[in-house]
Chain A
């Protein structure tokens, strides 16, 4: 069964700073990778996806994927207080029909 592990568990970042979130997965046949964000009291919302090795940038967010190393990361540039949330890494199974989530990284951006 797919295992998805995230680090760190929590992160405090100064406003304007860079937040770096890490995720490892166990199934070498995984192909599709997502980052979801959950603000307090709400359901998770898809932030961005990445399917190919390398970097993908969307605004202040950059995802990095290295399938050979079973590793995916998310970097948040110029962090804002509104970025304070729980961030989940999610990985599909080899059949591509189920998402497995990590336990999340809680990010707090201090003004």
Chain B
């Protein structure tokens, strides 16, 4: 099964600080995604990527940047963290740009608290 590893697993940040969430996948998948999960909202797409060097905006990109420096790594960056960004963040990868064939493999999540 595809392996997606997120770090850190838990993070406490201060308002206005910079936060970087990291994701690594070892299955050579082209596509990678960042979602956040909040009660009452389910999973919402923040940014995604079709391959190294590419990033695309998802449904809720405001306040977030993404970076895909290599096939394996995809980072989510909060330049100026706010309490509203307190959430659980999930990284996912998939093996085809058409989502029909693109089962998403999720990491275990990063729990972020912004105080």
How many of B's residues come within 8 Å of A, CB to CB?
A: 24
From B106, which residue of chain A is reached at the shortest CB distance? A43
Specify which chain B residues have a CB less than 8 angstroms from the CB of A97 in the assembled complex. 97-99
Check A92/B106 contact, CB under 8 A, given A44-B43, A98-B48, A98-B58: no
Q: Does B59 contact A (CB under 8 A)?
A: yes
Closest to B88 in A: A43
Question: Do A43 and B99 touch (CB < 8 A)?
Answer: no
Secondary structure type dominating chain A contacts:
loop
Extra contacts, 5 of them, besides A44-B106, A92-B100, A98-B58 (Cβ < 8 A), are A31-B100, A43-B90, A88-B42, A98-B48, A98-B99
**Majority DSSP secondary structure for residues of B touching A:** mixed
Asked whether any CB of chain B lies closer than 8 Å to the CB of A103, the reply is yes
Q: Is the CB of A43 within 8 A of B59?
A: no
**B44, chain A: closest CB distance, angstroms:** 8
C-alpha spacing A48/B58, complex, angstroms: 24
9 CB < 8 A contacts A-B: A4-B42, A42-B108, A42-B109, A45-B105, A96-B98, A97-B99, A102-B42, A103-B40, A103-B42
Residues of B near A31 (CB, < 8 A) are 100
